[in-house]
Amino acid sequence: MKKLLVTLSLVFCFVSGSVFAAPSLIPTPPQLSASSYILMDAYTGDILVEHNADQALPPASLTKLMTAYIIEYELARGNLSLDDKVNISEKAWRMEGSRMFIREGTQVKLEDLMRGIIIQSGNDASVAAAEHIAGSESAFADLMNQHAQLLGMTNSHFVNATGFPAEDHYSSAHDIAKLARATILQFPENYSMYAEKEFTYNNIRQPNRNKLLWRDKTVDGMKTGHTEAAGFCLAASAVRNGTRLITVVMGTKSDTARAIESQKLLDYGFRYYETRKLYSRGQVVNNARVWGGTQANVKVGFAEDVLVTMPRQQGESIPATLDMHKEIMAPIAVGDVLGKIVVGSEGNILLERSVVALEAVEEGGFFKRMFDKIKLFFMNLF
């Protein structure tokens, strides 16, 4: 690998030398009165705080985040429409616990069911949507587990669409955070529903059970849950100054406690950490030498924005090492990996990310390829 030492300025350009301010001083994270919890950067996926985050626990109505995710997944692929009319079965109508009060034998718009699931935590709405998508709730549960596997939710297993207490139905704070992150990043067009404070259906107005929507104007989602076995649970997300955090708190003692404990995590995270954009999608970081091609160089950069979670008082510049492949041979397609960039210092690596070809380079003619092979031969000798 050919290595180039560069330095990232916080205005996202290269400067020479590395000058660091005093190291960031970050206190011990708050200890919450909860069975399990996690604080995650939504944009990078970095975990800032965790406690028993991979412990499998009853998720109660946090389960409905998966139910809503699958609806959004099918909407994005054109398999469903928010205007779809959903037939309400006797099973859906008879569901106990939290409900949106749909009636057997009627048809309800899928958009209303979505709000019933997200805002009112309707068990009846969840079953109706599950039956509409998969034919039965048990078949929908199988679909939930397939999606969980794709999302890397390794400590989750679902047997229903509601979170109603059932044997072998479990998840973890870490898995719920992964699911929340996927919902936010993959389906931003529907995410505004999670911030709505109330929903009225069948002349019955019900408030969103997420108290943080009233207490913290930066909070814009996501979902509550409660059963006797699970305790009071809350998955929440907030955005401040370009940084978005996700918290999942499971097993608190009351509705008020889950809001208070979640707020502690959010305040800690926003006070001491931030998401920084180091590179933009398509930004050129190197013009690499190409051998045997129709052109001598190829522009190298990033397929996506490069974001990193950092302490707020990090130094004014960040060292980065660009490791390019030693010999880059044509042909090259857009997106081919040509090396990697390592951001951070030894013992404190912030991230590693592949750098890719931003343009295609076709293979050169016979004499061009032969000439470059001869040049490479003699270069390698010396």
Determine the structural domain holding residue 363 and report its residue range.
280-380
Q: What is the pLDDT of residues 178-233, one digit of tens each?
A: 999 999 999 999 999 999 999 999 999 999 999 999 999 999 999 999 999 999 99
Residue 29 lies in a domain: no
Residue type, 286: N
Shared domain check, 43 and 147: yes
| Strand stretches in 175-302, DSSP E | 198-201, 204-207, 219-227, 231-240, 243-252, 273-279, 284-289, 297-301
Residue 40 lies in a domain: yes
Residues facing 200 on adjacent strands: 205
Contact 2, 341 (CB under 8 A): no
Shared domain check, 332 and 305: yes
Where among 275, 299, 314 does a domain terminate?
275
Active-site residue identified among 35, 36, 64, 156: 64
Give the pLDDT band of residue 18 (cuts 50, 70, 90). Answer: very low
Residue 327 lies in a domain: yes
Residue 23 has a CB neighbour count (10 Å cut-off) of 11
Shared domain check, 251 and 285: no
Comparing 268 with 23, the larger pLDDT belongs to: 268
296, 74, 38, 276: which is closest to 180 by C-alpha?
Answer: 38
Where among 219, 250, 275 does a domain terminate?
275
**Which pLDDT does position 194 carry in this prediction?**
98
Shared domain check, 312 and 180: no
Q: What is the pLDDT of residues 107-140, one digit of tens each?
A: 999 999 999 999 999 999 999 999 999 999 999 9
Considering the entire predicted model, what is its pTM?
0.87
Q: CA 220, 224, 230: angle at the middle one, nearest 5?
A: 150
**Which pLDDT does position 20 carry in this prediction?**
37
Shared domain check, 103 and 202: yes
Task: Check which CATH number belongs to the domain holding 134 and give it.
Answer: 3.40.710.10
2 known ligand binder = no
Mean pLDDT of the chain: 91
**Which pLDDT does position 1 carry in this prediction?**
52
**Which pLDDT does position 3 carry in this prediction?**
56
Shared domain check, 165 and 76: yes
Active-site residue identified among 35, 89, 98, 121: 121
Active-site residue identified among 36, 61, 156, 317: 61
* Residue 61 annotated as catalytic: yes
Shared domain check, 308 and 265: no
Shared domain check, 360 and 221: no
User: Residues of 204-230 as b/e, b for ≥16 C-beta within 10 angstroms?
Assistant: eebebbbbbbeebeebbbbbbbbbeeb
* Residue 375 annotated as catalytic: no
Task: Check which CATH number belongs to the domain holding 347 and give it.
Answer: 2.60.410.10
Q: Domain count for the chain, please give it.
A: 2
Shared domain check, 346 and 255: no
253, 276, 235, 23: which is closest to 118 by C-alpha?
Answer: 235
Residue 16 lies in a domain: no
Residue 194 lies in a domain: yes
* Residue 171 annotated as catalytic: no
Where among 242, 275, 308 does a domain terminate?
275
Q: What is the pLDDT of residues 79-115, one digit of tens each?
A: 999 999 999 999 999 999 999 999 999 999 999 999 9
Contact 330, 293 (CB under 8 A): yes
Shared domain check, 95 and 50: yes
Give the pLDDT band of residue 375 (cuts 50, 70, 90). Answer: confident
Give the pLDDT band of residue 317 (cuts 50, 70, 90). Answer: low
**In Å, what is the CA distance from 53 to each residue of 155, 258, 260?**
10, 16, 18
